[in-house]
Chain A
Amino acid sequence: MTALLTIIIVLFVAIALWQMVKIFDLAQVSTSNSQVANDKDNKINGYLMMGFLIFIYAITIASFWYLGDLPLVSNSASEHGSGLDNLMIITMIVIFFVQTVTQFLLHYFAYKYRGEKGKKALFYADNNTLEFVWTIIPVIVLAGLIIYGLFTWNDIMNIDKDDDPMVVELYAQQFNWKARYGGDDNVLGKANVRLIDLDRANILGVDEDDPNAQDDVIVTELHLPVGKPVLFKMRSQDVLHSAYMPHFRAQMNCVPGMVTQFGFTPTVTTAEMRQNPDIQEKVANINELRRERQAEIEEAGQDLIYEFDYLLLCNKICGKSHYNMQMKIIVETQEEFDAWMAEQKMFANSLNK
């Protein structure tokens, strides 16, 4: 099927090219066989420049039309997320304004001033005022964006210890994630990969003698109480990984040999997010697409119907199964969280004797 499709595309392209060369050839029967552009070439290509401008605008509109509802620039699920989304939207408005205007000027000039025999161009080598203007305008716009960006960045990266965040360790290995909670004392026990003892099921290398470690809880599904600040401490045991939680606008690399950190406050529970009209529309769309590929999906052993969940993905190339290194995140109310936590085994009780 793919091979056939490929052959059809190749044929189609070949025919299109042949036809295009013929059009260009026909367009200049009367002129000499010079390979330098003549008036006719300038005219055709000048018009094509305008056509191309329309194509750029069309593909922009089409991308917004078909893909504009996919982006993660709305419905953030963390406290800092909405500020970041605002910054993104403002930046995007600036970008699309500049893009529309400059592409217009570029292609319109290429059309408007297309060459003609006997015409002479304007000798115009310099203009300090003009250059000052288009140096100073980017300076002002960028200064605004930089300042806004730096405030947002500092807000996100400065973790306020007074908030008493819940400390959670994200532990990465080829090719899965684990999470470790500090337990009742909210303090993670010391850990180092040199302490890993697979026979005793001490898979994260937690120090068994550390009193703080005894009540730690290690899980494979990340649960977070809504509205409570979380401070993630990231570790990796083998290669670089990156803990990417797109819905929370959060990402940080996991680096072997050091502990990195990132903090945020989840604001929307999984259940609430599933009720969000935008998300429901997205999920319905995804499920429609999945039904079209039903056989393929069932063959792969996946559930046909997709239900929304927050995800933690690996976003730094880490080896063969990098593409499938994920962990489910569940945001829930404090009561649900406490109930779930009560069911988990404490580290001290999880070891093999």
Chain B
Amino acid sequence: MSATVDTHGHDDHDVHHHKETFVTKYIFSQDHKMIAKQYLITGVLIMGIIGIFMSLMIRMQIAWPEQANIVFETFLGKWAPGGVMDADIYLALVTIHGTIMVFFVLTAGLSGTFSNLLIPLQIGARDMASGFLNMVSYWLFFLSCVIMIMSFFVEAGPAAAGWTIYPPLSALPMAQGGSGMGMTLWLVSMAIFIASSLLGSLNYIVTVINLRTKGMSMTRLPLTIWAFFVTAIIGVISFPVLLSAALLLIMDRSFGTSFFLSDIFIQGEVLHYQGGSPVLFEHLFWFLGHPEVYIVLLPALGITSEIIATNSRKPIFGYRAMVASILAIAFLSTIVWGHHMFISGMNPFLGSVFTFTTLLIAIPSAVKAFNYITTLWKGNLQLNPAMLFSIGLVSTFITGGLTGIVLGDSALDINVHDTYFVVAHFHLVMGISALYGVFAGVYHWFPRMFGRMMNKNLGYVHFWVTAICAYGVFFPMHFIGMAGLPRRYYTNSNFPLFDDTTNAQVVITSFAIVGGLVQLVFLYNFISSIFYGKKAEMNPWRSNTLEWTAPVKHMHGNWPGAIPHVYRWSYDYSKPGHEEDFVPQNVPMKEGEEELHH
């Protein structure tokens, strides 16, 4: 386990810190810290703002259906004649909002930022295993972002078949406008995105396995690195399956094959497709789609583990159980995809199997939640904004996770499948939780990235308003779902049955608008702190991990001189026998000192 690579031969790297031009420093950079910032700005900030803004437009349409709205008129142009949103663009917004948030913000933005920043710094490596592949990975991601956004400017509109793009709806341009050029661009963008994601993941895996510094055994890895490492493995296992599904769909769309299509009569004519099955696509999609949830969530939980331990001034409770739950969740995540398909026409026996595996995954999740709570117990909690977001994450993870017990149960799923209950569930458990993970990470590692502190009071306002709005939006939504209201309806006014949910929809939308707007506080805080923030100390949170031993100054190789050696795990907070309440990993053991975890 203690196999590490001695990279001392690399030491001359910083001595001849090679000259950089603007282009090699800021654009085609191969330095992991700069690539992390590029991911943060492209993935989290720019795509995040676009994704959240789309969700606000969706919410406004639901609360005030078919009413003229200046926002729609301004931003949707020809798709909102007279300011009234068109039904096609509503579905397109739902689709692209989902795609952007799940893939671009919470997969690439989250992993891209924090895996890149933290893996080399926390394991004591000079850089990623391959700086060049890392750069290629970012630029492929950038390209896929551009293509996805471009799809808003094609004649018939962007993809509108839902982020799950089930064929035949996504395969047939005559089924809906968005399934023409818009869907082609979606597929091309996602294919490039997957290539980017695979390059990134391979790099993370190789780096963690090969480039740990002396003494950094796997059992001393911070939980952040464990989470990023396992996430990358799940990504490498499952993303290629989505790529194959996308390629087969392209074949069906453009080259006349029948992988997913059969017996279709549309717009007065029978199509030639025969023998394929849309259910096959659902299997391929969810073989990625479910692990994807954990690709989003695990890095956020890793970040939370680190921040909760640091700010509680306590070791994370049950380190080995935490690692075991990450591994258990990762393994189980690849055998639960069928719970998205209980009523897809799949054999009911398979429904029983997937119910069983799905509810099993609640066990490691429960262990994680209890361990977080116990870590807080008898701590000395430093309630920094990052800590608040981490506690908030545990809160939404519990609230959202619990309703998974309803949805994972095939019998109960019959009546809440595809209703607002599902929307509430997954937004809380993976959307809000993972976003909190991103925010916690940004507040915590901002000093490491930019050498300055973010304003804490703006951070507090950001957290409390966001936290209240998140519950305000998604908690009542469960009840609307249990009333049987299907999701993805452009307007609910054609069903008097659901008229008693309309007032709740207005309340939800109001919370959503406030919650969306308060993100501008974060944006302001982020940008102004880069330039005017208070200069940060080297280790402002008094943390144990190695990234705080490296200077902030932009340099290749992270540490001037030798890389630090590691003598202990990263959670020696408030350890008896030490003056300070933290002992960084590069501090040698005192004589007679024991490693006090198992």
A residues with a Cβ closer than 8 A to B are 2-3, 6, 9-10, 13, 16-17, 20-21, 24-25, 33-37, 41-42, 44-46, 48-49, 52, 55-56, 59-60, 63-64, 66-68, 70-73, 84, 87-88, 91-92, 94-95, 98-99, 102-103, 105-107, 109-110, 113-116, 119-127, 130-131, 134-135, 138-139, 142, 145-146, 149-150, 152-154, 156-158, 173-174, 192-194, 196, 198, 205, 234, 237-240, 242, 244, 246, 249-253, 255-258, 260, 282, 285-286, 289-290, 300, 302, 306, 308, 311, 313-324, 326
Decide: A240 near B278, CB < 8 A? Known: A120-B313, A255-B345, A319-B175. Answer: yes
Interface centre among A103, A106, A290, by most chain B C-beta atoms within 10 angstroms, is A106
A129 shortest CB reach to chain B, Å: 12
Q: Is the CB of A106 within 8 A of B414?
A: no
Interface SS, A side: helix
Decide: A3 near B471, CB < 8 A? Known: A33-B534, A123-B575, A134-B370. Answer: no
User: B8-16, B289-297, B383-391: which one contacts chain A?
Assistant: B383-391
Q: Is the CB of A306 within 8 A of B175?
A: no
Decide: A110 near B352, CB < 8 A? Known: A250-B414, A255-B345. Answer: no
Give me the 6 closest cross-chain CB pairs, A-B, nearest first.
Answer: A257-B262, A71-B482, A35-B453, A246-B484, A67-B479, A157-B348
Number of A-B contacts (CB under 8 A): 428
Complex CA gap A114/B268 in Å reads 69
For residues 401 through 427 of chain B, which have their beta carbon under 8 Å from a beta carbon of chain A?
A: 402-403, 405-406, 409-412, 414-415, 417-419
Residues of chain A within 8 A of B598, CB atoms compared: 125-126
Residues of chain B within 8 A of A115, CB atoms compared: 313, 379-383
Decide: A103 near B398, CB < 8 A? Known: A36-B382, A110-B381, A240-B166. Answer: yes
Q: Is the CB of A123 within 8 A of B348?
A: no
Question: In the complex, which of the residues B315, B384, B464 contacts A123, with contact meaning CB atoms closer than 8 Å?
Answer: B315
User: B205-213, B242-250, B486-494: which one contacts chain A?
Assistant: B486-494
Provide 24 A-B residue pairs closer than 8 Å at the C-beta atoms, listed in order of the A residue. Answer: A13-B465, A17-B461, A21-B457, A35-B455, A37-B382, A41-B383, A49-B391, A52-B464, A59-B476, A63-B479, A67-B504, A70-B479, A71-B482, A87-B409, A88-B412, A113-B376, A122-B377, A123-B574, A125-B598, A135-B366, A149-B411, A238-B172, A289-B503, A326-B495
Q: Is the CB of A88 within 8 A of B414?
A: no
Interface centre among B412, B465, B483, by most chain A C-beta atoms within 10 angstroms, is B412
Q: How many residues of B contact A (CB 8 A)?
A: 150
A28 shortest CB reach to chain B, Å: 8
Does residue B112 face the partner (Cβ distance < 8 Å to A)?
A: no
For residues 315 through 332 of chain B, which have their beta carbon under 8 Å from a beta carbon of chain A?
A: 315-321
User: B35-43, B229-237, B356-364: which one contacts chain A?
Assistant: B356-364
Does residue B266 face the partner (Cβ distance < 8 Å to A)?
A: yes
Task: Please give me the residue from chain B that is nearest to A109 by CB atom.
Answer: B376
B residues with a Cβ closer than 8 A to A are 60, 64, 67-71, 87-88, 91, 161-162, 166-169, 172, 175-177, 261-266, 268, 270, 275-279, 312-321, 343-345, 348, 351-352, 355-356, 359-360, 362-363, 366-367, 369-374, 376-384, 387-388, 391, 394-395, 398-399, 402-403, 405-406, 409-412, 414-415, 417-419, 453-458, 460-461, 464-465, 467-468, 471-472, 475-476, 478-480, 482-484, 486, 488-497, 499-504, 510, 513-514, 517-518, 521, 533-534, 540-541, 571, 573-576, 581, 596-598
Q: Is the CB of A150 within 8 A of B64?
A: no
New A-B pairs, 18, CB < 8 Å, besides A35-B454, A138-B362? A13-B517, A35-B533, A63-B478, A66-B504, A67-B476, A95-B402, A113-B381, A121-B379, A127-B317, A237-B266, A238-B265, A239-B168, A255-B344, A314-B486, A315-B417, A319-B175, A322-B489, A323-B491
Complex CA gap A49/B383 in Å reads 10
